[in-house]
Structure 1
């Protein structure tokens, strides 16, 4: 990959979010006013494709302690966590402590199309070969 700044990659990723790249479980809550909603899994995987690093995952809870779902983001070395989608959460949702998650050998059926949509848009904007690893 040609040299890119994290700022440039972030700008491209954020501009590439759409309902097509949104987790199906969050599609009803996705809007241009909250474009990060449901983008965490796809975004974390695309950043991992581009930059490597660790994938982080954590439960998200409602005030009553029940689980709303999971949140995903990236860590690139000690002390550098990058979470482009943290602002997606409502005030009533709290992200718990993360753990490192092994990258699945294949992206799961439920979010595969969303990941591929985001990857295609980001790679096109960065003028990268979408078939490269």
Structure 2
């Protein structure tokens, strides 16, 4: 059965500058692979584990700098696979359920599809035929 513990290393291995939000691509680095991966990652996690998307804000010096996504699993557990991307002074605040429209995302569609393909391919050997 697919679990958070199994999924975490697969996501980390699948992240790259080509799967992050283009707005944050300049900040992506191999030593901080979770940077700008939250949106695509939250969508792939929802595809695999279900549950809700949660949308919060990242504040820097008390002002909103950008949005941040994570997941609430069907059992109510909140999991944020990209929480380690934040540096000192970057604080996630709030968080509410964000409805996911049907179909692929309008923003970051290519990044989402690439990340999804990598993770699903990594899972393929362990999934029953």
Q: Same fold (TM over 0.5)?
A: yes
- Which residue does the alignment assign to 2:95? 98
When normalised by structure 2's length, the TM-score is: 0.90
- Which residue does the alignment assign to 1:9? 7
- Which residue does the alignment assign to 1:38? 36
- Which residue does the alignment assign to 1:131? none
* SS of 1:126 mapped into structure 2: helix
* SS of 1:21 mapped into structure 2: coil
Deviation at 1:14, TM superposition (A): 1.2
Instruction: Tell me, yes or no, if the aligned pair for 2:50 and 2:74 is still in contact at 8 Å.
Output: no
* SS of 1:35 mapped into structure 2: coil
- Which residue does the alignment assign to 2:124? 127
Deviation at 1:33, TM superposition (A): 0.4
Greater strand fraction, Structure 1 or Structure 2:
2
Q: How does 1:15-54 map to 2 (within 5 A)?
A: 15-54=13-52
Instruction: Tell me, yes or no, if the aligned pair for 2:71 and 2:79 is still in contact at 8 Å.
Output: yes
Deviation at 1:77, TM superposition (A): 3.6
CA–CA distance in structure 1, aligned partners of residues 10 and 100 of structure 2: 23
Count matched residues. Answer: 125
Instruction: Tell me, yes or no, if the aligned pair for 2:72 and 2:79 is still in contact at 8 Å.
Output: yes
Instruction: Tell me, yes or no, if the aligned pair for 1:12 and 1:122 is still in contact at 8 Å.
Output: yes
User: Which ranges of structure 2 fall in alignment gaps of 5 or more residues?
Assistant: none
When normalised by structure 1's length, the TM-score is: 0.87
RMSD across aligned C-alpha pairs, in angstroms? 1.5
CA–CA distance in structure 2, aligned partners of residues 110 and 53 of structure 1: 21
